[in-house]
Chain A
Amino acid sequence: MTKPKASKKVSKPLFEDADWNFDTLRRTYDAIEDIALNELELSVYPNQIEIISAEQMLDAYSSVGMPLMYAHWSYGKHFVANEIQYRKGLRGLAYEIVINSSPCISYNMEENTMAQQTLVMAHAAFGHNHFFKNNQQFLQWTDAEGILDYLNFAKSYITQCEERYGVAEVESVLDAAHALMSHGVFRYRRPQKLSLKAEEERRKERIAYEERMVHYLWDGLTSLAKAEPNDAQREAEKRKHTLHLPEENLLYFLEQYSPILHTWQREVLRIVRNIAQYFYPQRQTKVMNEGCACFVHYYITNRMHEKGQLTDGTMLEILHNHSNVITQPDFDEAHYGGFNPYALGFAMMEDIKRICLEPTEEDYAWFPEFAGNRDWKNTIKDAWANYRDESFITQFLSPHVIRKFRMFTLSDEARAAHVQVSDIHNEQGYINIREKLARTYDIAIMDPDIQVVDVDLLGDRCLKLQHLKRDGIALNNVERDKVLSHLRKLWGYDVAMEEVEAS
């Protein structure tokens, strides 16, 4: 064992073996916590760290990483797919899975060495955890306290439905709902808090209400029939108003207004929609979330090494894992798959720190608000709290990072035989690259923009959807038609979709 000489307070290493046990885990956790809370001043949910085996990791993978989930064949499909890849050695398993809940649950693999466990605890139990607890997206759109309760409710509710209405019935509703899942979120309105109790109250209320009332549709029909024919235009406006059209949350619309669904089917849609909403912030903050976690684990493990809590050997292993995770392959390498969110996130976080501490002339020009302010901790924590990937990149991607990744952009016209290089990492290119990269992380742009625009209640009750094509990008026909047939099942009448060019 070699002791680091430079640092002032040299303590005994926390462990030297590769094997871990619960005692070592606890001691190491305490050391990590000390640095995380007292030096980095993170604020985290209480941690619950669960050790699981490879099989259990596979289980967790296939149910979208959640500890409990209702049953559906697609999870089984993912399970067998993951399993076969894992058994063939085509892919390793993650070292951990972390859940945005309070307490914050992280699953650590039993196969991890003690060095990896250290890394994983710093990464997930403090990095991700801090991000979950502080980022606006998560605070606004998810409910960490309620999610496990809610999943519990969802699971037992779906089981009950299966008992009452049959597995096949429930499955067909879930299939259809899953197809629309990415269009089951409110992007601009804040969803309600999830609470098991309120959820059940609401459900009972809804049943009672439906028993009391005639369905709005039929109710509306009788009054509409009396209206003057030349008022059709105004009626249409009124109708759109009462149905809150246009509506981008397709699942919500179906849940509220589908003429054929039973109460329980509406409830199932609601469950799928709530789960989609829960994952919505995660999709918007991949780069930041991983960047934050990598930054935190890198800082903490280095500090532990300085303090002498980690041996040189352990530190080398940690660094080896760290650099594996943050590798960014070049575009012409075989395993290139776009930007690695770990690499980009980590590079940007480190860059913010650098700009705070050792800014160059360029940085002063680009980031006058914080360049050289020396308060990197608060600058970076402010970024973690208040941005999502798209705005974060727009705000913080520096020429330095663009150069480091040697970023360039390609203009790609689908019909053309060539792609054209439109920007490279030079003075003229920085702004464009930054803007274009930010756009690729804006899911409002990357997800197709589909809205319910009208329902022809007087005629054939055809549900009219509109896809606003951006940059002339249409939907994949085959899949679109499959999704529409699912949609038809839920709506009960015909569904039409028109694709219009965005102005």
Chain B
Amino acid sequence: MANFIDRRLNPKDKSLGNRRRFLKRVRSHIKRAVDDSVRERGLTDVERGEKVSVPTKGIEEPVFRRDPKTGKREHVLSGNKQYIVGDKILKPGGGAGAGSGKEGSNSGEGEDEFVFALSRDEFIDLFFEDLELPDLIKHSIKEVQTYRPRRAGYSVSGSPNNINVLRTMRNSLGRRLALKRPDNKQIKELQAEVFKLEKVSRKTKKQQQELARLHAELEELLRRQRVIAFIDPLDVRYNYFEHAPEPNANAVMFCLMDTSASMGEREKDLAKRFFILLHLFLKRRYKKIDLVFVRHTHNAQEVDEEAFFYSRETGGTVVSTALKEMKHIIDERYPPYEWNIYAAQASDGENFAGDTDVCVELLKNEIMPVCQYYAYIEILEEAEAKLMEAEENGMELWRGYRTVKADWQNFAMKRISTPSDIYPVFRQLFAKKQAGAQQ
């Protein structure tokens, strides 16, 4: 007799650990592939999984193997059609090529790439790998809270629509068993017996006695059934809900960027990486995030992602136009009491003379009061970055923004000049803010 076992419900990812080890092994290659793919991807779909290919170097499994290019062999093959003994056949590729037969097929190290797909989580982990994300979530940002009922056990009181039928019936059954409440079946049987006896037209004395006894018994059972309720108020249980604070699920993220000619590919790429990070970070906390892209030269407009990152424009640089546009959009579509508003601004730090004061005024009086968080990053040439190591130095916009920073804790500003700056900067921006509301 065989033993049949259904294993289909067993956890299926038995190889997950091995898979993880393998990924670790080819980490550097995958990492490069991931970085490349991030550059090509849209901002919002960065969290998809990804197919990557890695060179077989570092993952070979060498064994002692016979070299097909040496020695003498005898192959046995099937399906002879016209050969007779002594026939000579030119080897494929001519000359000292690999012999036929199975040794040729698995010879040594292929140089072919090893292609496989990363899951979404693996992708994100790798993406953040040298960015050390883990602690980020713990650092909280001030959030608008809402309340939402959450299941929290059972209670003996509540409104009828919250009755928990299962619990109630379980209690009722227990009580009925304990108090020996007769069930309908018992009563029906008894009634049937009574009925049978009653049908007998001429009863013997014994039968009459029996009938009387049965009547009494039936009476008693019915009485018990009446007295002991099927469902007693004691049995009833209600689902209990607690009002748990929940972070407001809506957030909007403003991406503001200077797209004038001074922002080249490199600057845009850095900015994009920063925006991606911020977006991912927010996405882990909020159910729904709207993205608003505002680009500006000497005037600002809201555009889609494509245009934001890839189209070029010419014109001067007036930063305040972007801030005005943002304020305008907030007023129109994102009332601050319903939305968590985040903003990230990227710029090379240049601004039209005199405009900086306007910006500072706008930020201090209009924008910062409604914003959860405002991050300003200035993207510099590497050479410039060395020159302006100190916080105090900087161009007009930088100096202006420093006064905002002094007033507003949730305003942050940093400089970036290479991709490796991004995460450290990103973490500094988010790490040491108010350790307030924890969800």
Chain A positions within 8 Å of B, measured between CB atoms, are 22, 25-26, 29-30, 33, 46-53, 55-56, 58-59, 62-63, 71-77, 79-81, 83-84, 87, 103, 107, 110, 125, 167, 171, 178-183, 328-333, 336-339, 405-425, 428-429, 433, 436-437, 439-440, 446-448, 450, 467, 469-480, 482-483, 486
Q: A71-B17, A479-B62, A482-B62 are in contact. Are A414 and B70 (CB under 8 A)?
A: yes
CB distance from B2 to the nearest CB of A (A): 4
Expressed in whole angstroms, the Cα–Cα distance for A179 and B20 within the complex equals: 21
B3 with A47: CB separation less than 8 A = yes
Enumerate 6 A-B pairs (CB-CB under 8 Å) in ascending A order: A48-B2, A80-B19, A330-B79, A416-B91, A475-B64, A479-B63
| B199 at the A interface (CB under 8 A) | no
CB distance from B92 to the nearest CB of A (A): 10
Expressed in whole angstroms, the Cα–Cα distance for A183 and B65 within the complex equals: 11
Expressed in whole angstroms, the Cα–Cα distance for A3 and B315 within the complex equals: 88
Expressed in whole angstroms, the Cα–Cα distance for A477 and B60 within the complex equals: 15
- Mask, B207-240, CB within 8 Å of A = 1, is 0000000000000000000000000000000000
Expressed in whole angstroms, the Cα–Cα distance for A405 and B81 within the complex equals: 11
| B55 at the A interface (CB under 8 A) | no
Inter-chain contacts of A330 with B (CB < 8 A): 78-79, 81
B107 with A476: CB separation less than 8 A = yes
B72 with A471: CB separation less than 8 A = yes
Inter-chain contacts of A408 with B (CB < 8 A): 76-77, 80, 83
B18 with A75: CB separation less than 8 A = yes
Q: Which of B21, B115, B116 contacts A72 (CB 8 A)?
A: B21
**A-contacting residues, B1-55, CB 8 Å:** 1-8, 10, 12-15, 17-25
| B407 at the A interface (CB under 8 A) | no
Is chain B's interface secondary structure helix, strand, loop, or mixed overall?
Answer: loop
| B332 at the A interface (CB under 8 A) | no
Q: A48-B2, A81-B114 are in contact. Are A55 and B18 (CB under 8 A)?
A: no
A479 with B24: CB separation less than 8 A = no
Inter-chain contacts of A107 with B (CB < 8 A): 7
A-contacting 9-mer, from B94-102, B241-249, B305-313, B335-343: B94-102
Q: Which of A26, A71, A417, A424 contacts B4 (CB 8 A)?
A: A26
Inter-chain contacts of B91 with A (CB < 8 A): 412, 416-419
We find that the number of chain B residues with CB closer than 8 angstroms to chain A is: 69
Expressed in whole angstroms, the Cα–Cα distance for A74 and B114 within the complex equals: 13
Q: A83-B116, A433-B76 are in contact. Are A476 and B18 (CB under 8 A)?
A: no
A59 with B15: CB separation less than 8 A = yes
Q: Which of B20, B69, B79, B109 contacts A414 (CB 8 A)?
A: B69
Inter-chain contacts of B71 with A (CB < 8 A): 414, 469-474
Expressed in whole angstroms, the Cα–Cα distance for A125 and B21 within the complex equals: 34
Identity of the chain A residue whose Cβ is nearest the Cβ of B78 in the assembled complex? A405
Q: Which of B2, B59, B78, B81 contacts A328 (CB 8 A)?
A: B78
Q: Which 9 A-B pairs have the closest CB atoms?
A: A330-B79, A76-B22, A473-B71, A76-B18, A472-B71, A482-B62, A73-B21, A80-B116, A331-B77
B78 with A473: CB separation less than 8 A = no
Expressed in whole angstroms, the Cα–Cα distance for A74 and B23 within the complex equals: 10
Q: Which of B74, B75, B90, B109 contacts A478 (CB 8 A)?
A: B109
CB distance from B31 to the nearest CB of A (A): 16
Inter-chain contacts of B161 with A (CB < 8 A): none
B18 with A448: CB separation less than 8 A = no
- Mask, B326-368, CB within 8 Å of A = 1, is 0000000000000000000000000000000000000000000
| B105 at the A interface (CB under 8 A) | yes
**A-contacting residues, B92-135, CB 8 Å:** 94-96, 99-102, 105, 107-109, 114-117
A73 with B25: CB separation less than 8 A = yes
| B88 at the A interface (CB under 8 A) | yes
A410 with B18: CB separation less than 8 A = no
Expressed in whole angstroms, the Cα–Cα distance for A337 and B107 within the complex equals: 13
A417 with B63: CB separation less than 8 A = no
Identity of the chain A residue whose Cβ is nearest the Cβ of B90 in the assembled complex? A418
